[in-house]
Structure 1
Amino acid sequence: MKFQKLAIVFLSSLLLMCAGLAASAQTVHEPSRGTAERKDILDAMRPMMEARVGPPVEFVVNWMRSGHGWAFVQVSPQRPGGGVIDLSRTTFASQAEYMDGLVTFALLRYQFNRWNLVDFVVGPTDVFWQGDPLYAQVPRGLTPY
């Protein structure tokens, strides 16, 4: 009888631990289209991009993950309706030949009841976040690689 009770307690603890691990593994997610979370993340990026390429800007989302108060995004900026942004008419005009277009990566942190831009790179030609101590703080699965 004691063995059965001990076995039940052990199995219950094991199940709770596994459930906790499964829940923590699911905390990094892709915010769905149309959600307030997705809109708020993109709206936090918009002033930075519009200051560099001029308004208005909309984003095609290539990668977006959020979890544990962090978000990492890869977007392709464009004009509303799919219009191309002319690099020669932006603050990037003198750097255009060294850039991979306007593909933009951004790291955001949810603090003070809003998403805040922590880091961004426009047109990188490498995986800039690998080896950066800042990105060592973000949860697994937030960045693409």
Structure 2
Amino acid sequence: MKRNQLNHFFTQLLLVASFLAMVAPAQSLGFSGKVQRVYTPPPDSVERKAILDAMRAELQKQHNLDVAFVVREMKVSGGWAWVHTMPRSKDGGSRYEDFSALLRKTDGRWRVVEIPCTEPDNPECIDNPDYFSKLLDRFPGLPASILPAGTPER
């Protein structure tokens, strides 16, 4: 009789484990019910160009710079993008400070929603260990998976 009880226990345990294995990935589901994968749009793609054009317009507006970007990192998921670039003049003669931005796609357009400050010792800037946690708090729905490595998951 004990063997039957033990078999029953392990069967129940296996069922619970199987259920949890199916439910746990639901945390990565968006409101649409689709898994939101993280990807990098390929060079010369329409999406990559639209993201970089939004960043380029922001630099033009803030600093009157017309730049080309060397992309160090670009992660996109669920209508959000995190991009880290090294801007240069279009002729390649001038290089500027690294430029990172968080973008959101709304109404079919990519828009810059956050440009992290880079001032040393400023608790609101990107070098602060809590910067990305605060960013996740400020932007509900932002997938932590697009943020740089080492960012705490929510």
Answer whether TM exceeds 0.5 for this pair.
yes
Aligned length: 115
8 A contact 1:106–1:117 mirrored in 2: yes
Gaps of 5+ in 1: 1-9, 86-100
Structure 2 residue ranges without an equivalent (≥5): 1-14, 29-33, 121-126, 150-154
Deviations 1:66-100 (A, max 9, x none): 01110010011110132214xxxxxxxxxxxxxxx
Q: Residue 144 of structure 1: CA displacement?
A: 1.2
Mapped contact 1:31–1:37 kept (Cα < 8 A): yes
Structure showing greater relative contact order (alpha-carbon pairs closer than 8 Å, 6 or more residues apart): 1
Counterpart residue number, 1:91: none
Structure 1 vs Structure 2 CA RMSD: 2.9
Which secondary structure state, in structure 2, belongs to the residue aligned with residue 105 of structure 1?
Answer: strand
Which structure has more helix as a fraction of its residues?
1
Q: Which has the larger radius of gyration?
A: 2
Any residues of structure 2 matched to 1:6-85 within 5 Å, and which? Answer: 24=35, 27-85=37-95
Q: TM-score, normalised by structure 1?
A: 0.65
Contact 2:85 2:98 in 1 (8 A): yes
Shift of the alpha carbon at 1:136? 6.1
CA deviations on 1:81-123 (whole Å, 9 max, x unpaired) are 32214xxxxxxxxxxxxxxx62111011111111111101254
